[in-house]
């Protein structure tokens, strides 16, 4: 383990992602090591991880089995191509992933990130329709406030305004969006899935009428929208999307980069909600975030149409140098073994009611206008300061960090997604700290 260093490094070269670079570098928050539920900061303070890193370290940090698997793989074989070559660990990782994917989504295309998984899924959807002789089905339907990573495909179907603004002239041309499902007037302080809002899925029928079903390739949604501030799907909403897609021959893609690997107390949100998509994207928790890894799970229908329907030779002209990278594959095998051995998804399901009770205690604290939760994910929405949206949640985030608890914020929404190994006392500590900070925040 690296000893905490006192002097921060030179920070000028690293252009940090999704970061206020000037602000950060003038008052940096540096993490130096991690174990289990905790980070240790550069200056030696322990910080309770309320966000599983970035919604990804589901089994807790630096788990011995995963560390050992990565170390062993690095020493045995650093890299092997998966274009017209192969290595056993990539196949083993895909097989283990497929043990947990829903329905007949058992064909796994490996990527290195969620963004790549999303763009891969969109391309597979296009390739499927073309292979079926319906190459005119090219339009994608995303959703307002959706986050699907930062590739051009992902920001096109995504619905986060600032992620699109600077690039708006160069987004994919054939895209439309469903409305998002958050409505504080109708559903504030819902515990679990709001009773209100299933009818919003019917907006898809409107888009089908507008564009004609024959032009529509796929609908992509996060089952629970994470990055835009934890938007929980209304009861019945996802099933209704599924039914409308089926009726019109449109593929349904679930982006499970956050909801995958136990976040809701089931392997994927698809099983939790009992709704099976045609394509499912994952990343983050796939290998507990130990090495970059993402994947797309495809149904038999899609795989067989593309692979079986090709005349011979390469069936899908798509892939990444690091698809199935040995280190990522080894980490995936070890992480999935760990999830299974410790039954972490079941554990998350058992912990969810404690999490719900604790987060809803924030109702009535200063600035809080909504609390929402499902499984081990939660959001607390704050009223915004006049003329300075986002600054209140940012201040809360910084104060919590100073008090030893890592939370996330987006706009004026605080987001929580702890590792699935969290204990009851740690849940209490997170929300008591937030309550205290809210009382101290203007
Ligand atoms: C639902 C969803 N899709 C895609 C992504 C992009 O993943 P990555 O940052 O690994 O590219 C994210 C990241 O948070 C996500 O939450």
Sequence-distant contacts of 34-40: CB under 8 A, at least 24 apart: 34/61, 34/62, 35/60, 35/61, 35/62, 36/60, 36/61, 36/62, 36/419, 36/421, 37/61, 37/418, 37/419, 37/421, 37/422, 37/423, 37/426, 39/406, 40/4
Predicted TM-score of the model (pTM): 0.98
Q: Domain ranges for the chain, please list them.
A: 21-59+343-440, 67-341
From 227, 269, 415, mutation site for ligand 1 pocket: most ligand atoms within 8 A of C-beta:
227
Which residue has the least CA distance to atom 3 on ligand 1? Answer: 148
Burial class of residue 421 (count of CB atoms within 10 Å of its CB; 0-12, 13-18, 19+): buried
Whole-number Å distance between alpha carbons of 236 and 254: 15
Q: Is the CB of 237 under 6 A from ligand 1?
A: no
pLDDT per residue as tens, the chain (442 positions): 555 556 789 999 999 999 999 999 999 999 999 999 999 999 999 999 999 999 999 999 999 999 999 999 999 999 999 999 999 999 999 999 999 999 999 999 999 999 999 999 999 999 999 999 999 999 999 999 999 999 999 999 999 999 999 999 999 999 999 999 999 999 999 999 999 999 999 999 999 999 999 999 999 999 999 999 999 999 999 999 999 999 999 999 999 999 999 999 999 999 999 999 999 999 999 999 999 999 999 999 999 999 999 999 999 999 999 999 999 999 999 999 999 999 999 999 999 999 999 999 999 999 999 999 999 999 999 999 999 999 999 999 999 999 999 999 999 999 999 999 999 999 999 999 999 999 999 9
112: its two tokens = 């290195």
Tell how far the Cα of 149 is from the centroid of ligand 1, in angstroms. 4
Predicted pLDDT at 252: 99
Q: Is the CB of 226 under 6 A from ligand 1?
A: yes
Looking at the domain that runs over 67-341, which CATH code has it been given?
3.40.640.10
Closest of 333, 295, 290, 325 to residue 92, by C-alpha: 333
| CATH class of the domain at 21-59+343-440 | alpha beta
Whole-number Å distance between alpha carbons of 294 and 296: 7
From 18, 142, 147, mutation site for ligand 1 pocket: most ligand atoms within 8 A of C-beta:
147
Element (H, E) at 133: none
Q: Kindly tell me the sign of the dihedral angle through the C-alpha atoms of 112, 268, 54, 2.
A: negative
Q: Is the CB of 410 under 6 A from ligand 1?
A: no
Predicted pLDDT at 14: 98
The three-state secondary structure class of 385 is strand
Tell how far the Cα of 179 is from the centroid of ligand 1, in angstroms. 20
Predicted pLDDT at 251: 99
Predicted pLDDT at 8: 82
């Amino acid at each position: 383990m690296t000893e905490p260093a006192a002097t921060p490094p030179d920070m000028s070269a690293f252009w940090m992602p999704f970061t206020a670079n000037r602000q950060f570098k003038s008052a940096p928050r540096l993490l130096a090591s991690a174990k289990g539920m905790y980070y240790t900061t550069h200056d030696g303070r322990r910080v309770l991880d309320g966000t599983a890193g970035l919604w990804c370290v589901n089994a807790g940090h630096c788990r011995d089995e995963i560390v050992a698997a990565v170390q062993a793989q690095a020493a045995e074989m650093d890299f092997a191509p998966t274009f017209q070559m192969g290595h056993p660990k990539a196949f083993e990782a895909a097989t283990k992933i497929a043990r947990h994917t829903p329905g007949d989504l058992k064909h796994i295309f490996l990527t290195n990130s969620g963004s790549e998984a999303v763009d891969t899924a969109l391309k597979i959807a296009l390739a499927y329709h073309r292979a079926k002789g319906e190459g005119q089905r090219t339009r994608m339907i995303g959703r307002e406030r959706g986050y699907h990573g930062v590739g051009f495909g992902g920001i096109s179907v995504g619905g986060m305004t600032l992620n699109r603004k600077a690039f708006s002239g160069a987004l994919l041309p054939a895209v439309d969006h469903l409305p998002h499902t958050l409505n504080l007037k109708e559903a504030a302080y819902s515990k679990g899935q709001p009773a209100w809002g299933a009818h919003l899925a019917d907006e898809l029928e409107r888009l089908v009428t507008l564009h004609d079903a024959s032009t529509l390739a796929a609908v992509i949604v996060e089952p629970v929208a994470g990055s835009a501030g934890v938007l929980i799907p209304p009861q019945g909403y996802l099933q209704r999307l599924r039914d409308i897609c089926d009726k019109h021959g449109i593929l349904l893609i679930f982006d499970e980069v956050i909801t995958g690997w136990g976040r809701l107390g089931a392997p994927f949100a698809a099983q939790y909600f009992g709704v099976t998509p045609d394509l499912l994207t994952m990343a983050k928790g796939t290998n507990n975030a130990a090495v970059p890894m993402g994947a797309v799970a495809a149904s038999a229908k899609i795989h067989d149409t593309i692979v079986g329907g090709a005349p011979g030779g390469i069936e899908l002209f798509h892939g990444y140098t690091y698809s199935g990278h040995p280190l990522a594959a080894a980490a995936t095998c070890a992480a999935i073994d760990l999830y299974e051995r410790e039954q972490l998804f079941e554990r998350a399901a058992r912990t969810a009611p404690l999490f719900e009770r604790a987060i809803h205690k924030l109702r009535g604290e200063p600035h809080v206008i909504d609390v929402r939760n499902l499984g081990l994910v939660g959001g607390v929405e704050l009223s915004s300061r006049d003329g300075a949206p986002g600054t209140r949640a940012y201040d809360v985030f910084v104060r919590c960090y100073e008090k030893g608890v890592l939370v996330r914020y987006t706009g004026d929404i605080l987001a929580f997604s702890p590792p699935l190994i969290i204990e009851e006392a740690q849940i209490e500590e997170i929300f008591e700290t937030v309550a205290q900070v809210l009382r101290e925040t203007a």
